[in-house]
Chain A
């Protein structure tokens, strides 16, 4: 069994801060939104925690961005090869086929992760959308909702506070789905905890049969 260093320290720090922030933001967001139905904490506490974590998420995003920009890995890892669409679509289809069928019958994972290509085509598309569009949008809309007077320019640029809120909450709905799918997929390593452990140690154990994280 070979060990591949897939997750450098800055990425691991970013990931776990992100993970905790996401979960707490979803919970406090629920509390703020449904104060009449949920009573986990006071509205005021939920707002305070949500605001603090929003800024932590913002700072954390810059850790991720800076790391991947300065290492130049953002292009290798996150940007799907749009310039080779047929090949990419074929690979993505094979990957989807693997998750839907191959994994059940014991086929090999068509993707072999390396430090320069750690995502399979489906992951690449998803994480590209999440990191380049969803999180920045979530942060920007969050900033407007945090202080609509201070960010009035952004509010009007986005088409009004209702649209801002719709984007923020629409993404909240998406994360509600993503969080569970992400957690489930992280158990698809050669052991259920393999990918999760790798996100702590940085090293992915490469089993005879390539697995997904």
Chain B
């Protein structure tokens, strides 16, 4: 009996163990089945959609997108229950899924996934017609995905209190990573970092102070062709308040380059930033670094100057880039009147020069002006190869002729202009080539040449020497053997001047008289044929005397005979 009882207990235990194992195995296969009494098929039929989907999506599932981003597929059912969609079954939104269908989507990246989600899922119910009831909401729905503001499954009503302060109101949406698709397909981020605003000089401004036309009730949809177009519009926003600065900028080489859509061309934003609008600090070193971030070569040359030495010694009056080139109306070197920039700091320089640079019997400061007018300060005060710079000027308007003007007038391409000057392409324009070019130009445009003394490489002008090292010897310039190159410079719209090396001897030619009418440097640009004429005149003068004297000597016997009455 004991044996029978023992056997029965063993059998029962084995049965229980087997059942337990089976149950455990079933759980592993189908997840949380509602009842162990049902088969998988029966459960599948009877399970709600949420139960069915969640059987997998409660696990930490993820999908790797083409971009490498990971998309989390785990769903928190409680989140859904607490959301405005709390009563929804999964297929209400995910209608392309069912217990028998599970399509596979291949999104390139999360952006595409989010955009698709908004369009294919949310907008099935929240159609444009319903969204249009709120213009702002509608506009945002066209540029941002729903989940940016409303979340994924825990869909929240994103009602923004109209009584919020304006900036906070705007930032409710714009602090999110929302973007705008531009007409050419480029994507513009319209996200604004609130902390940037607060740290900017515009921290006390309201968003609508700049973004006119927008309000808590108005949010027009702007059509913007491209990112470049957007930046052009941004300048107009700045101009609303900073009219003077933008007008100055519009005259600059920077603006010309910008409106020609040249890469790296600066606009307001490039120097002052977007919403983190910064006033360029009065710190000279920071100012220098800002320009140096684009103008590396120039910065390098500047570091070789007495000016940089003063800057590195933190002298308060040490000049930085904008002291000479100005901040907004940065002009090409050939037009910038940089001597005036020098004089704006070196106020006593005229008097200082006048101590040794004067015209006896008087010591007029105007004689210093003669030199300041026709030579760049850097010729005497900086290291570098010197040159006579000749530039083409419209005879009537007295304004510089640009490469583009020539191209238009002569039907040459912009690139062709240089080749038309240096016909044999040997890198130096000879006298014949030069006058030939000028004659060709003069047939179409009334031009003359303007001259000045400067450095061949304008970048060398940054290498300002100390006062002691400056040139004081007049013959450095006033000699036909002076070491000066010749350069023909023609301005280019929004670009650095086109410089072509020319034989400086063109200035010693008679053709220089009518063509370079307002430029003459004693010795350097003397007209050589006059020297020959002077020698001829002296020879003729002496020859006349000697010839006449000789004839008088030869004819002495005739006169003697006549006097003697023979």
On whether the beta carbons of B360 and A48 are closer than 8 Å, the reply is yes
- Contact between A32 and B517, CB atoms less than 8 A apart: no
* Closest partner residue, chain A, to B563 (CB atom): A106
A180 near B538: Cβ-Cβ < 8 Å: yes
Q: Is A51 an interface residue (CB 8 A)?
A: yes
9 sample A-B contacts, Cβ–Cβ < 8 Å, listed by A number:
A35-B478, A43-B479, A43-B523, A47-B359, A149-B366, A173-B534, A177-B541, A177-B544, A180-B545
Which of B83-91, B113-121, B420-428, B546-554 forms part of the interface with chain A? B546-554
Check if A176 sits within 8 Å of B359, measured CB to CB: no
B541-A36 in contact (CB<8A): no
Quick check: is A94 within 8 A (CB to CB) of the other chain? no
Q: Answer yes or no: B361 CB below 8 A from chain A CBs.
A: yes
User: How far in angstroms is the closest Cβ of chain A from B560?
Assistant: 8
Does B5 touch A at the CB level, under 8 Å? Answer: no
Whether A176 contacts B541 by the Cβ 8 Å rule is: yes
Cα distance, A183 to B541, chains bound together (Å):
10
With CB as the reference atom, state the residue of chain A lying closest to B547: A184
The secondary structure that dominates the A interface is: helix
In B468-484, the 8 Å CB interface with A consists of: 474-475, 478-481
Instruction: Check B361 against A177 for contact (C-beta < 8 Å).
Output: no
Taking the nearest CB of chain B, how far is it from the CB of A17, in angstroms?
16
Contact across chains for B549 and A184 when beta carbons are under 8 A apart: yes
Closest to B374 in A: A148
Annotate A148-172 by CB proximity to B: 1 below 8 A, 0 otherwise: 1110000000011111111001101
Contacting residues, chain A, for B522 (C-beta < 8 A): 32-33, 145
Contact B523 A32 (CB under 8 A): yes
| Contact partner, B534, options A163, A166, A172, Cβ 8 Å | A172
Tell me the bound Cα distance from A44 to B531 in angstroms.
21
Q: Is A104 an interface residue (CB 8 A)?
A: yes
Classify chain B: how many residues form its interface, as a range: 35 or more
Q: What's the Cα separation between A149 and B545 when bound, in Å?
A: 42
- Report, nearest first, the 5 A-B pairs whose CB atoms are least far apart: A180-B541, A184-B545, A160-B517, A106-B559, A104-B555
In the complex, how many angstroms separate the beta carbon of B547 from the nearest chain A beta carbon?
10
Shortest beta-carbon distance from B135 to chain A in Å = 65
A165, B517: Cα distance in complex, Å: 10
**A93 within 8 Å of B by Cβ?**
no
Q: Is B107 an interface residue (CB 8 A)?
A: no
Complex contacts, A159 vs chain B, CB 8 Å: 517
**Chain B 513-552: CB-based contact to A (< 8 A → 1; otherwise 0):** 1101111101100110011011001101110110011011
Tell me the nearest residue of chain A to B472, going by C-beta: A44
Contact check: which of B360, B475, B481, B549 meets A52 at CB < 8 Å?
A: B360
Nearest chain B CB to A202's CB is how many angstroms away? Answer: 25
> Is residue B364 within 8 Å, beta carbon to beta carbon, of the partner chain?
yes
A145 to B475 CA separation, bound complex (whole angstroms):
17
Q: Given contacts A36-B481, A43-B475, A48-B360, are A177 and B517 in contact (CB under 8 A)?
A: no
CA–CA, A142 and B390, complex, Å: 25
Residues from chain B with Cβ under 8 Å of A183 in the complex: 545
Residue picked from B364, B479, B537, B559, most chain A C-beta under 10 Å: B537
Tell me the complex Cα distance, A177–B541, Å.
4
User: How far, in angstroms, from A148 to B517 measured CA to CA in the complex?
Assistant: 13
B370–A184 touching, CB < 8 Å: no
Residues of A within 8 A of B364 (CB): 147, 150
- Beyond the given A105-B559, A145-B522, A183-B545, please list 7 additional residue pairs across the A-B interface where CB-CB is below 8 A: A51-B359, A51-B360, A104-B552, A104-B558, A106-B563, A180-B544, A184-B541
Write the chain A residue with the least CB distance to B519.
Answer: A161
Asked if A9 is at the interface (CB within 8 A of a chain B CB), the reply is no
Once the chains bind, are A176 and B537 in contact (CB under 8 Å)? yes
Q: C-beta contact mask, A17-29 vs B, less than 8 Å → 1, else 0?
A: 0000000000000
> Does A62 count as interface, using CB distance less than 8 angstroms?
no
Asked whether, in the complex, the Cβ of A165 is within 8 Å of the Cβ of B520, the reply is: yes
Q: Which residues of A contact B523 (CB under 8 A)?
A: 32-36, 43
A126 to chain B, nearest CB (A): 13
Which residues 351-401 in B have Cβ within 8 Å of A in the complex? 359-361, 364, 366-367, 369-370, 373
